[in-house]
Amino acid sequence: MAKVPEIKIMRSESLGHRSDVSSPESKLGMRVEDLWDEQKPQLSPNEKLNACFESIPVSAFPLSSDSQDIEINSDTSLAEAVQTLSKLKVLSAPVVDVDAPEDASWIDRYIGIVEFPGIVVWLLHQLEPPSPRSRTVAVSNGIAHDFTSDSYRRTPRFEISGTFRWAPFLALQKENSFLTMLLLLSKYKMKSIPVVDLGEAKIESIITQSGVIHMFAECAGLHWFEDWGIKTLSEVRLPIMSKDHIIKIYEDEPVLQVFKLMRRKRIGGIHIYHDYRSITTKNFLVAVREHLEKCGDTSAPILSGVIACTKNHTLKELILMLDAEKIHRIYVVDDSGNLEGLITLRDIIARLVHEPSNYFGDFFDGVLPLPENYRV
């Protein structure tokens, strides 16, 4: 039977004051602070935050490593696209149509967003039939790459467009509000959102859930953040996902089957190793750790144990831990260490804002329909 991984409970005393008044994120937080003080006293804290975020454009969001000026041409091979994402340590990038005219609008200039999860799905479909021989696979930034596959090396991006997040191609304009952005990243389940500069007809940045959590962490100490952040998880009814809804696997299960399960259940995770038809999940995770140590990658989370919290922890403590550990989810356990649920970045953002009645109006009317072969 598989051994239960070590659970590391988050310690409150290790989460100190994080606010750096010189950081772009904290300066943005102080802008929220000024707006907070101007709100009507009869408004609830959540109503105040909604009003504050509605008054700030997304153009004010600080650029980060996740929003570098990265573009991939549509005639780039899949292998080259993966190598570019891996080298720059980003999970997604916009794809430019090389056949688009110079004066094309942004919606005609781009054909979509290439993402690592979509690449994994495509590889799974390509490698579905068992191979009579083992393939040589390279490891890079959370995904196994089969560099002996001609289809992997030569397949241009546009030929497999239905496999990736090409549509709906939903983007924000620079003047859209923070509130719109936060709602899309939470209630509408988007993990990242491109921000378009209409004047330049290009994607200026990509805002991610983790980028928003980092901004919140830099706001520790500010009144609006502390007023919200002192609430415990139980007070804000977290976790949303109970233990009965968490997908569990044994460490000796083939990792390819785990990938398929993740695809079917639409859940996220980490993907690395060679010959992933037969390798077990345990050895897969060991390979992840050894690869990161070899590369000296200190930005990735440690895989030697499971980081957890309890319902008595506050939102502030949770945000500081998620940001410090660079993780996207955290387990909730009781005082005896028994699993109670799971909290994601989206769950936290969803507890910060709420959607006013008829807020989006016709916002989604221009979203393109999903292609028939869309899988992610």
Question: Does the CA dihedral 52-56-60-65 come out positive or negative?
Answer: positive
Q: Report whether 124 contacts 143 (CB < 8 A).
A: no
Number of independent structural domains in the chain = 1
Whether the full predicted model's pTM is greater than 0.85, yes or no, is no
The pLDDT of residue 169: 63
The pLDDT of residue 178: 96
pLDDT by 10-residue block (mean), the chain, 376 residues = 53 58 89 94 91 96 68 86 82 87 89 75 62 38 38 49 48 93 92 88 89 95 94 93 77 73 66 56 69 63 69 96 90 89 94 92 64 44
The tens digit of pLDDT for each residue in 187-233 reads: 988 888 889 888 888 888 889 999 999 999 999 999 999 999 999 99
Is 230 inside any structural domain? yes
* Residue-range definition of the domain harbouring residue 305: 8-14+24-128+145-352
Amino acid letter at 283? N
The pLDDT of residue 240: 87
The tens digit of pLDDT for each residue in 336-371 reads: 888 899 999 999 999 999 999 999 887 776 554 444
The pLDDT of residue 167: 44
Is 365 inside any structural domain? no
Is 363 inside any structural domain? no
Q: Report whether 30 contacts 215 (CB < 8 A).
A: no
Is 231 inside any structural domain? yes
Is 323 inside any structural domain? yes
Is 346 inside any structural domain? yes
Is 248 inside any structural domain? yes
ω before 132 within 30° of 0 (cis)?
no
C-alpha distances out from residue 104 to 33, 71, 98, 200, Å:
40, 16, 11, 10
Is 373 inside any structural domain? no
CATH number of the domain at 320, please.
Answer: 3.10.580.10
The pLDDT of residue 146: 40
Q: Compute the distance between CA of residue 362 and CA of residue 10 in angstroms, rounded to an integer.
A: 43
The pLDDT of residue 133: 43
